[in-house]
A and B are shown apart, each in its own frame.
Chain A
């Protein structure tokens, strides 16, 4: 039957696409996890209301408000390349931004423009792609409390991110030198 043949072809294509899309996310992330370079980003407190949403912790970072020369150059959702200074402890801090992708040997990550403002001076609010840390439901509440207290008490809290040519994958969140999830499991 002709219609059935068309349906079969369409189904095979659909099945391939259904697998391809999530698989490409997974493969890309796995590659970055294996071959990427470790970068540590210091986290800062967020509005407690926004901190915990279901099963992930929303992470906030320093220097996410970036002064730009012309606000009209940007629109929400645009990629913005953040060039970083990396110290010997692998802690990354903001150096400057680029509109075009930097060379692979430069330390940089790709962020997105979340909000644009024209006054008092033109600036963009950026969002790093590693701002959601999913935690297992059974320890989620405890993780949230531990993380919030640590920030409030002035502990050194940071995200460990694997980065390769601008792509990034969040690996873990640390309080001082201890993994947040491992610390809770112990």
Chain B
């Protein structure tokens, strides 16, 4: 029977059984098999088509932008101006046609939207060059983004949404990383404008590739632009970042992400790693001895905006965590969910005593051990190795801090390596025994 040649072996096995049992005729089984084959191949083609469509639009779009770098002096002002509007009008006609004919499901939608997105930028950049307008790069970017965000909602184009997030991150980064540019909180309004679309994507298509990319783009963008919350953060920066990471971690744990794999949940992973890295930095005794932390913690609680924002972020993360549990009906908090509050407490304690640094070390160690136990209990290799890695990094970090001899450090490294191998072997063995039963 040639329908066995198909890829859908599991289903085909069932079909074969049904034919043998006389429930289905061989002809029907063949039709069912063909139907699924066709469906799978059109889905694959569709994805490829969308990918190439976007790639084409991005290439044409960036070609346009490159073209601007060339101010063709051969043409008159009028000719150049007309030229600047051609791609824009073309993009509008493409998108408009799809919209008028109610063809937003069309494969061309994504490519047309991306093309329009780029031609808006090309047009305003070209006009400001032709007439030597003095608009700064930030202003051009801002106008471009504001004129493009409606494309995301009207065309329902996830790729345009990603481009928009990239664009506003560039805009925000100009202020976050360059002191000469002054200060602006406008970034937060711009990112807020992208959120309704993103939340809608999460609710409707939580496992779509575009949604997964959003899961990473948004927390990365906000991580880069966090200092745009306040200029007055000085010493409270580390606490502000901690509050932020604990908040996005809490958001990553919310019911919005319940259908999203951990690997595709940027909020959870960035939040977790961010907190871990800050804990590691804070657990350094040498830095404490040298007065690094003493100076870092000499902030004014009332005066510093940074501290207020940090506090607000930590409290919000607490509220989100509380609601997560309420809705999920869980009573027990997972270990990492209250890290924000622990960090806040030790951070204040740090002002007075080195005990805080010892507490950081104990906390990291305890977290590592807990993950190993959790991994072992749930038979989850990833969790167990995460715990092992945390302990290994902590150990190695402490070796470098201490003045142990090289031989002893070498031995300790080997012990860490051996622990990894042993734990994994034990785990795999246990799995095998379990599977054999």
Contacting A19 at CB < 8 Å: which of B78, B85, B129, B153? B85
Distance in angstroms between the alpha carbons of A129 and B132 in the assembled complex: 9
Q: Which of A122-179 contact B (CB under 8 A)?
A: 127, 129-138, 169-170
Contact yes or no, B124 A22, CB < 8 A: yes
- Considering only CB atoms, which chain A residue lies closest to B68 in the complex? A55
Contact yes or no, B70 A138, CB < 8 A: yes
CB distance from B108 to the nearest CB of A (A): 15
- Interface residues on chain B, size class: 35 or more
Query: Top 5 closest A-B pairs, CB basis?
Result: A29-B131, A170-B132, A22-B127, A136-B71, A134-B129
Stretch at the interface among A5-13, A40-48, A79-87, A93-101: A5-13
CB distance from B167 to the nearest CB of A (A): 15
- Interface residues on chain A, size class: 35 or more
Does B186 belong to the interface (CB within 8 Å)?
Answer: no
Contacting A33 at CB < 8 Å: which of B77, B88, B120? B77
Residues of A within 8 A of B77 (CB): 30, 33
CB distance from A113 to the nearest CB of B (A): 13
Does A18 belong to the interface (CB within 8 Å)?
Answer: yes
Contact yes or no, B132 A136, CB < 8 A: no
CB distance from B157 to the nearest CB of A (A): 12
Does B311 belong to the interface (CB within 8 Å)?
Answer: no
Interface SS of B by simple majority: helix
CB distance from B286 to the nearest CB of A (A): 39
- Considering only CB atoms, which chain B residue lies closest to A54 in the complex? B69
Most chain A Cβ neighbours within 10 Å, of B85, B126, B130, B132: B132
Distance in angstroms between the alpha carbons of A55 and B102 in the assembled complex: 42
Please name 30 pairs of A and B residues whose Cβ atoms are closer than 8 Å in the assembled complex, sorted by A: A1-B102, A7-B99, A11-B150, A14-B154, A15-B92, A18-B92, A18-B123, A21-B147, A22-B88, A22-B123, A22-B127, A23-B85, A25-B127, A25-B133, A33-B77, A33-B131, A55-B129, A56-B129, A56-B132, A131-B134, A132-B133, A132-B134, A134-B71, A134-B130, A134-B132, A136-B71, A138-B70, A170-B132, A181-B73, A185-B73
Beyond contacts A25-B124, A30-B78, A30-B81: 6 other A-B pairs, Cβ-Cβ < 8 A, are A10-B150, A14-B147, A19-B85, A21-B143, A76-B182, A132-B133
Residues of B within 8 A of A33 (CB): 77, 131
Contacts A8-B100, A14-B151, A55-B69; A130 near B134 (Cβ below 8 A): yes
Interface SS of A by simple majority: helix
CB distance from B359 to the nearest CB of A (A): 46
Contact yes or no, A137 B96, CB < 8 A: no
- Considering only CB atoms, which chain B residue lies closest to A12 in the complex? B96
Tally A-B pairs: CB < 8 A. Answer: 96
Contacts A7-B154, A18-B120; A25 near B128 (Cβ below 8 A): yes
Contact yes or no, B154 A22, CB < 8 A: no
Residues of B within 8 A of A29 (CB): 131, 133
Contacts A30-B77, A136-B73; A21 near B124 (Cβ below 8 A): yes
Q: Which residues of A contact B (CB under 8 A)?
A: 1, 4, 7-8, 10-12, 14-15, 17-19, 21-23, 25-26, 29-30, 33, 54-56, 76, 127, 129-138, 169-170, 181, 185
Distance in angstroms between the alpha carbons of A23 and B113 in the assembled complex: 21
Contacts A26-B127, A136-B71, A181-B73; A11 near B132 (Cβ below 8 A): no
Contact yes or no, B132 A130, CB < 8 A: yes
Contacts A135-B71, A137-B69, A138-B70; A22 near B96 (Cβ below 8 A): no
Distance in angstroms between the alpha carbons of A138 and B74 in the assembled complex: 13
Contact yes or no, B70 A136, CB < 8 A: yes
Q: Which of B253-285 contact A (CB under 8 A)?
A: none
